[in-house]
Amino acid sequence: MAPRAGAPRFDFADIVRRKRVALEQSTHLSTAQRRVLTDIARCRTAALGGHLDVCQRCGFEHPAYNSCRNRHCPKCQALAQQKWIERQRQRLLDVPHFHVVFTLPAELRSLTAFAPTVMLPLLFSCASATLQAFAQRRLNATLGITMVLHTWDKQLGFHPHVHAIVTAGGSRPDGSWASSQRQFLFPVVAMARVHRGKMRAALRSAERDGLFKDFDGFDDPEAFDQLLRTIGKKNWHVYAKRSFDQAKHVVEYLGRYTHRVALSNGKLLEVTNDRVVIRTRGDGRAAMSPVELLRRFTRHVLPKGFHKIRHFGLYAQRPVDPLAASPSIHITYVQQLCRLTGRDITRCPRCAGALSPRPLPTARAPPHAST
């Protein structure tokens, strides 16, 4: 079946189904990584069951299979993202916000890959503490912060960083609002230095608690201290820019980051049995083998139960009230899909007649192919 107009030409799930066996022959995968690949391979196939839409007017038939709903799946994020955006409309303060990015230096990437449940929470906590420290010192106020973790760069390399949407000001102890400068939150060079200091102190504490004891890079008794000295001499990177003045625009802007996965189908430009080309930045491209693509992708599978979206300060104190939530949160799946795509899936694409769903049996997933 030819892809519909506007649909991606290639499907990452096809690469998973064809090359997973070859990947597992060369790379050890965790239980979480194997589960993600299984879910992606089965997503919207007969393996998960579904229904057959039949037009009562012209007899048109179309199978619709169920989604895996895995948060790493390229196909399953649009509706989840829209639901999240609707919920956050109730949380976000209607004030200007800044977009701030905190990045770990390259020297800490192997340690982060080894101990993600230690390092990634430290990245969140130290970045948020840095922002709040500046807010307390300069504004005597508490900020509202929402952070989203990404672990990849444009070529799917391991590059942990957090995107933060931060209120342009905060709440003082007396309840009044303290605004930051309109085009300026805090000095990025100074924030980078404070973030570096907080991370180094947190790393020292984690090492003292034995959280890195099995890391090969610390076999040399001097290796940890040398690492701290090295990252202490580097200039860490913090990026900040003004986002939007209105909350409704801020939350949609943040929504671009919350449910983004390491690789979307739209970035697949060429797929053959031996070569995959992906879009990187602008017109940039990167070529690699399908197995290498899968290897890079699986590096970004998060630990089970890990929260990649976290709230701090005023936003940690401002939970969504389900009783006051927007009615749009409670619209049906069909209504949400229609809003996102402009297509009413209850109507026949040929004659606009009503479609009647009929259950389809769940089929066994096809065996993995190694070719």
DSSP string, 5-59: TTS-S--HHHHHHHHHHHHHHHS---HHHHHHHHHHHHTTSGGG-EEEEEETTT-
The answer to the question of residue 339 being in a domain is: no
> Which residues of the chain are under the pLDDT cut of 70?
1-7, 318-342, 362-371
- Number of domains making up the chain: 1
Helices (H), the chain: 12-26, 31-42, 78-88, 109-114, 116-139, 188-208, 223-233, 247-258, 290-298, 333-341
Residues with Cβ within 8 Å of residue 36, at least 6 apart in sequence = 70, 72, 73, 298, 301
Per-residue pLDDT at 334: 59
The answer to the question of residue 9 being in a domain is: no
Global pTM value: 0.85
The answer to the question of residue 178 being in a domain is: yes
Are the CB atoms for 169 and 139 separated by under 8 Å? Answer: yes
Per-residue pLDDT at 124: 98
Longest CA–CA separation in the chain, Å:
77
What pLDDT, in 10s, does the model give residues 181-197?
Answer: 878 899 999 999 999 99
The answer to the question of residue 83 being in a domain is: no
The answer to the question of residue 187 being in a domain is: yes
What pLDDT, in 10s, does the model give residues 114-143?
Answer: 999 999 999 999 999 999 999 999 999 999
Question: Which range of residues forms the domain containing residue 130?
Answer: 92-262+300-313
Per-residue pLDDT at 324: 46
The answer to the question of residue 31 being in a domain is: no
The answer to the question of residue 362 being in a domain is: no
Per-residue pLDDT at 92: 85
Per-residue pLDDT at 250: 79
The answer to the question of residue 35 being in a domain is: no
